[in-house]
């Protein structure tokens, strides 16, 4: 797994071989130990170069090994042996040098990088810290502030930034291995003492205590309960204040805590789940590896409201040419200005030219005649969308894929209004569409595998976490959100406050609790949907019967706030009050609290004490329970799909792995028992009735999450 060759007569060339990313598996580590030993003991070898095969240096430790008994030589002594070598060792970095890969390079005496290479210590995003000396060597090499930034964020830097920071010694546009071999020849015989980073003192930093205090505060705020970023700060502090050997001991202790933590398991699960959702499959048996996407060179967006504008930007930024259609001239001009501004700001951030010429604006739907794919983003009205789809079917060239950005309407119904339903899929973006990571690709029973493959590939090009899901009310994300929000309303009726509910959810790790979130997105959105469903009635009725609608418990609280004109941030009043309409700082609102008191009195409800645990159990288990229904219905192919949707689009804390992973961690039997408990107390709430899949999984011994797929298949075959 590490190949050895002698090149240019006196350079030992070690090539890491472990596709696809040359991860440091046990076999690769053993290969490095053996080949370094061979090079150092060969009197004809004057210097050594380490590189990786297929244009990638090394993607770090093999994450798949973390959950098994680790065998093979450990990384730390291996890197020490390289650093202590009496012949210069040069790292030739192409592609990526990440995590243990960069730590290996930091143990080398010199580093040469290709201009397109990316370097970083992303361990924090896996719930770990760079514990093969990375947390001790990097601050010694580039100083404490820069090392803190890289290690606590896990961000990857370009070769140019790495050169500027002092991580690499040279950047080349040409053959990196050839440049490294030439360099290795030029430094043969030079003293290596100054090149051993572990022997350096950390560069002096004025007012170290104040710096660490400030960084720790910042990290605690943004970590939202994640422990790895905090351990990273502590490890760098050890580098700055202790001799190397003691710093290494501190690094080891901190890593020991992180390595076995539930958070590390959750974050590593997310890493693999994000890759697993790309291997989509449909109930029909169609799959990612047997369905060929159609090429998309030209796309169109119909309707340039908030969503349409964001989608246009996301498409244009991938380099596609986009026809942006809005029938009203004034709206078209406003949209053009807004889209150009977004493209310019985005390009500035990425240091590239804005793709302004990539977008053609038109008032005429005929302009989309020759595009390969259209995304409809007009107002959420089935009659309007049907009309647009019929026009598109008449105008577009044969084979054009027709996508709808609906979040609530029936994709099958829209498809059935077109002569080619196999060409119709949902592409459910989240606002702002050019920023938010998540894309739900919604297929109906007649969507062709090729249409799904094309939408999934386009999502990937746009940098989205794209998840293929079946068609149902709310798809996956919003369908699960409904019971979560309803439980929050019921908790208010029973005595909780918006502040209490939000605090419990924010301490769990959500960036915003349900009520602050509702104020941000607008209370009128849900009101409109509930009106459409015939659930909204005038607010004068009282008593229990007024809170049973369509045969189930219903809380009219949100409707009553809307009747008062309280739509959230945009009106300056909602579940909280704001200094003025549009401002973002939520403040306690005495009006809301007396309103809740009067509401409870009117309905004969007696407020009781509700604690954080009840808030979490009722809101989260109701949401998770719906997730089990979704799996049972085959709307999501596996728990990873649901978890990626929640982590990338709904603010579920990544260090808790997503709702289904969380249920697995809590224990399925415990989730079931608590749902049964609450269902007994609230028999008129159907979403607290445990899903039959959850019951069946518990009855079959609560298999671990990676075995749910198999278990579900088996359980379905027994039905
Ligand atoms: C003892 C503890 C020590 C810890 C120190 C560490 O080194 S922890 C690991 C730190 N490294 C990382 O976090 C890097 C993770 N990988 C990436 O960021 C990216 O994969 C990449 C290297 C930038 C390459 O990206 P690209 O988009 O080209 O490919 P994919 O991400 O799709 O990956 C391809 C397949 O490779 C698998 N994979 C990637 N990295 C690792 C890894 N370090 N260990 C094991 N497997 C890895 C990935 O899962 C993909 O597999 P598929 O089966 O094809 O889905």
Which position among 9, 83, 94, 103 bears the catalytic label? 103
d(CA 442, CA 475) in angstroms, rounded, equals 7
CA of 64 from ligand 1 middle (Å) equals 9
334: nearest Cα among 360, 305, 357: 305
d(CA 248, CA 103) in angstroms, rounded, equals 13
Residue closest via CA to ligand 1's atom 35 equals: 20
Q: How confident is the model at residue 718 (pLDDT cuts 50, 70, 90)?
A: confident
* pLDDT top residue among 711 and 718: 711
- CB distance 659 to 627 below 8 Å: yes
E strand or H helix at 16: strand 11-16
Three-state SS annotation for 166-226? CCCCEEECCCHHHHHHHHHHHHCCCCCHHHCHHHCCCCCCCCHHHHHHHHHHHHHHHHCCC
Q: From start to end of 56-185, where are the E strands?
A: 89-93, 96-98, 110-114, 118-120, 157-158, 170-172
Cβ atoms < 10 Å from Cβ of 363: 13
Is 538's pLDDT higher than 80?
no
Residue ranges of alpha helices (H) inside 9-63 are 26-41
Is 277's pLDDT higher than 90?
yes
The model's pLDDT over 527-536, given as tens digits with 9 standing for 90+, comes to 998 998 999 9
57: nearest Cα among 87, 32, 74: 32
Atom of ligand 1 nearest to the CA of 63: 44
Is 655's pLDDT higher than 70?
yes
Give mean pLDDT, residues 138-165.
98
Give mean pLDDT, residues 291-308.
96
Atom of ligand 1 nearest to the CA of 134: 5
Q: What is the pLDDT of residue 349?
A: 85
Give mean pLDDT, residues 497-501.
98
Degrees to nearest 5, angle at CA 702 with 701 and 706: 125
Give catalytic status of residue 123 as yes or no. Answer: yes
The model's pLDDT over 431-471, given as tens digits with 9 standing for 90+, comes to 999 999 999 999 999 999 999 999 999 999 999 999 999 99
Q: How confident is the model at residue 68 (pLDDT cuts 50, 70, 90)?
A: confident
CA of 639 from ligand 1 middle (Å) equals 21
For a substitution probing ligand 1, which of 20, 231, 251 has the most ligand atoms within 8 Å of its CB?
A: 20
Write out the two tokens for 41: 């003991």
Residue closest via CA to ligand 1's atom 19 equals: 59
CA of 56 from ligand 1 middle (Å) equals 11
d(CA 115, CA 172) in angstroms, rounded, equals 6
The model's pLDDT over 170-210, given as tens digits with 9 standing for 90+, comes to 999 999 999 999 999 999 999 999 999 999 999 998 999 99
Is 719's pLDDT higher than 70?
no
Side-chain half-sphere CA neighbours of 76 within 13 A? 15
Q: Under DSSP, is residue 157 helix (H, G, I), strand (E, B) or coil?
A: strand
Q: How confident is the model at residue 67 (pLDDT cuts 50, 70, 90)?
A: confident
CA of 350 from ligand 1 middle (Å) equals 24
Q: What is the pLDDT of residue 714?
A: 82
Q: Under DSSP, is residue 322 helix (H, G, I), strand (E, B) or coil?
A: strand
For a substitution probing ligand 1, which of 16, 21, 158, 248 has the most ligand atoms within 8 Å of its CB?
A: 21
Give mean pLDDT, residues 475-484.
97
Three-state SS annotation for 473-496? CCCCHHHHHHHHHHHHHHHHHHCC
Give mean pLDDT, residues 329-347.
96
- CB distance 117 to 97 below 8 Å: yes
d(CA 58, CA 32) in angstroms, rounded, equals 12
Q: What is the pLDDT of residue 642?
A: 98
Mean pLDDT, the chain, rounded, equals 96
Q: Percentage of residues in the chain with pLDDT exceeding 90?
A: 94
The model's pLDDT over 366-406, given as tens digits with 9 standing for 90+, comes to 999 999 999 999 998 899 999 999 999 999 999 999 999 99
Which residues, including other chains, have CB under 8 Å from residue 714's CB and lie 6 or more apart? Answer: 700
d(CA 78, CA 16) in angstroms, rounded, equals 14
Write out the two tokens for 420: 């080619």
Q: What is the pLDDT of residue 715?
A: 78
Residue closest via CA to ligand 1's atom 54 equals: 275
Q: Under DSSP, is residue 568 helix (H, G, I), strand (E, B) or coil?
A: strand
Atom of ligand 1 nearest to the CA of 128: 4
Give catalytic status of residue 499 as yes or no. Answer: no
Using only C-alpha atoms, the chain has a radius of gyration, in whole angstroms, of 29
CA of 63 from ligand 1 middle (Å) equals 7
Side-chain half-sphere CA neighbours of 678 within 13 A? 25
For a substitution probing ligand 1, which of 57, 63, 706 has the most ligand atoms within 8 Å of its CB?
A: 63
Please give the backbone phi and psi of residue 488, each rounded to the nearest 5 degrees, phi first. -65, -40
Q: How confident is the model at residue 539 (pLDDT cuts 50, 70, 90)?
A: low
Dihedral of CA atoms 234, 236, 242, 245 in degrees, nearest 10, equals 100
Cβ atoms < 10 Å from Cβ of 54: 13
646: nearest Cα among 452, 453, 475: 475
Residue closest via CA to ligand 1's atom 27 equals: 275
d(CA 618, CA 590) in angstroms, rounded, equals 26
d(CA 616, CA 225) in angstroms, rounded, equals 15
Q: What is the pLDDT of residue 608?
A: 97
Question: What letters, b where the CB count within 10 A reaches 16 and e where it falls short, cover 291-304?
Answer: bebbebebbbbbbb
The model's pLDDT over 9-52, given as tens digits with 9 standing for 90+, comes to 999 999 999 999 999 999 999 999 999 999 999 999 999 999 99
Atom of ligand 1 nearest to the CA of 121: 10
d(CA 624, CA 646) in angstroms, rounded, equals 11
Atom of ligand 1 nearest to the CA of 130: 5
Cβ atoms < 10 Å from Cβ of 510: 21
CA of 21 from ligand 1 middle (Å) equals 7
Q: What is the pLDDT of residue 537?
A: 86
Residue closest via CA to ligand 1's atom 2 equals: 61
Q: What is the pLDDT of residue 70?
A: 84
Provide ipTM, 2 decimals: 0.99
The model's pLDDT over 617-647, given as tens digits with 9 standing for 90+, comes to 999 999 999 999 999 999 999 999 999 999 9
* Angle (deg, nearest 10), helices 208-223 and 228-241: 170
Question: β-strand 11-16 against 2-7: which pairing, if any?
Answer: antiparallel
Question: What letters, b where the CB count within 10 A reaches 16 and e where it falls short, cover 206-234?
Answer: eeeeebbeebbeebeeebbebbbbbbbbb
Q: What is the pLDDT of residue 248?
A: 98
d(CA 485, CA 551) in angstroms, rounded, equals 18
Side-chain half-sphere CA neighbours of 387 within 13 A? 8
Residues with Cβ within 6 A of ligand 1? 20-21, 23, 59-64, 96, 98-100, 122-123, 126, 128, 131-132, 272, 275
The model's pLDDT over 311-323, given as tens digits with 9 standing for 90+, comes to 999 999 999 999 9
CA dist 175 → 94, 118, 232 (Å): 9, 16, 35
Which position among 9, 65, 94, 123 bears the catalytic label? 123
- CB distance 718 to 692 below 8 Å: no
Report residue 40 CA to chain centroid gap: 44
């Amino acid at each position: 797994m590490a190949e050895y060759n002698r090149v240019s007569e006196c350079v030992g060339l070690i090539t890491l071989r472990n596709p696809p990313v040359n991860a440091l598996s046990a076999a690769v580590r053993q290969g490095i130990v053996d080949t370094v030993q061979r090079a150092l003991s060969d009197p004809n070898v004057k210097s050594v170069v380490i590189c990786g095969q297929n244009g990638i240096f090394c993607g770090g430790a093999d994450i798949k090994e973390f959950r098994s008994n680790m065998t093979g030589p450990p990384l730390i002594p291996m890197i020490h042996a390289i650093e202590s070598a009496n012949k210069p060792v040069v790292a030739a970095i192409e592609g990526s040098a990440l995590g243990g890969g960069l730590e290996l390079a930091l143990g080398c005496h010199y580093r040469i990088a290709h201009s397109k290479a990316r370097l970083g210590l992303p361990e924090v995003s896996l719930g770990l810290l760079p514990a093969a000396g990375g947390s001790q060597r990097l601050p010694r090499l580039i100083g404490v502030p820069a090392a803190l930034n890289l290690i606590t964020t896990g961000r990857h830097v370009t070769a140019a930034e790495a050169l500027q920071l002092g991580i690499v010694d040279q950047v080349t546009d040409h053959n990196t291995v050839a440049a490294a071999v030439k360099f290795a020849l030029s430094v043969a015989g030079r003293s290596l003492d100054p090149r051993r980073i572990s022997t350096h003192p950390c560069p002096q930093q004025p007012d170290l205590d104040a710096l660490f205090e400030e960084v720790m505060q910042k990290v605690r705020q943004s970590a939202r309960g994640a422990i790895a970023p905090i351990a990273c700060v502590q490890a760098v502090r050890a580098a700055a204040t202790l001799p190397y050997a003691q710093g290494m001991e501190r690094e080891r202790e901190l890593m020991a805590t992180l390595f076995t933590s539930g958070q590390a398991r959750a974050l590593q699960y997310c890493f693999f789940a994000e890759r697993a959702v790309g291997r989509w499959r449909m109930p029909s048996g169609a799959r990612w590896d047997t369905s060929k996407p159609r090429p998309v060179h030209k796309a169109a967006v119909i309707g340039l409201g908030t969503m349409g504008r964001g989608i246009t930007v996301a498409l244009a930024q991938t380099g596609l040419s986009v026809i942006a259609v809005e029938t009203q001239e004034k709206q078209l001009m406003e949209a053009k200005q807004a889209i150009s501004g977004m493209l310019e700001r985005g390009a500035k951030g990425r240091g590239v030219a804005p793709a302004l010429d990539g977008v053609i604006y038109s008032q005429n739907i005929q302009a989309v005649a020759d595009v390969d794919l259209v995304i409809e983003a007009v107002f959420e009205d089935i009659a309007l969308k049907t009309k647009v789809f019929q026009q598109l079917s008449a105008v577009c060239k044969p084979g054009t894929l027709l996508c709808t950005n609906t979040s609530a309407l029936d994709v099958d119904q829209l498809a059935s209004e077109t002569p080619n339903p196999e060409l119709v899929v949902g592409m459910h973006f989240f606002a702002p569409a050019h920023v938010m990571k998540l894309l739900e690709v919604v297929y109906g029973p007649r969507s062709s595998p090729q249409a799904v493959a094309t939408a999934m590939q386009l999502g990937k090009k746009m940098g989205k976490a794209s998840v293929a899901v079946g068609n149902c009310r709310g798809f996956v994300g919003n369908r699960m959100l409904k019971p979560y929000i309803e439980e929050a309303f019921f908790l208010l009726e029973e005595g909780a406050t918006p502040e209490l509910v939000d605090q419990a959810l924010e301490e769990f790790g959500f960036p915003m609790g349900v009520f602050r979130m509702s104020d941000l997105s607008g209370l009128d959105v849900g009101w409109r949907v509930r009106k459409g469903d015939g659930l909204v009635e005038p607010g004068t009725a009282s008593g229990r019967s007024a809170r049973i609608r369509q045969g189930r418990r219903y809380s009219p609280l949100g409707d009553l706030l809307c009747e008062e004109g309280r739509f959230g941030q945009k009106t300056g009043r909602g579940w909280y009050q704001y200094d003025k309409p549009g401002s973002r700082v939520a403040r306690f609102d005495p009006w809301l609290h007396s309103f809740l008191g009067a509401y409870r009195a009117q309905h004969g409800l007696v407020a009781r004490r509700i604690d954080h645990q009840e808030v979490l159990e009722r809101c989260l288990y109701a949401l998770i329970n719906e997730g089990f229904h979704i799996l049972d219905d085959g709307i999501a192919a596996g728990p990873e799909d649901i978890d990626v949707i929640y982590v990338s689009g709904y603010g579920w804390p990544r260090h808790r792995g997503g709702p289904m992973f969380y249920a697995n961690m809590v224990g399925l039997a415990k989730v079931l028992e608590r749902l049964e408990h609450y269902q007994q107390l609230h028999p008129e709430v159907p979403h607290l009735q445990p899903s039959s899949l959850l019951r069946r999984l518990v009855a079959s011994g609560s298999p671990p999450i990676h075995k749910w797929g198999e278990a579900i298949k088996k359980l379905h075959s027994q039905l």
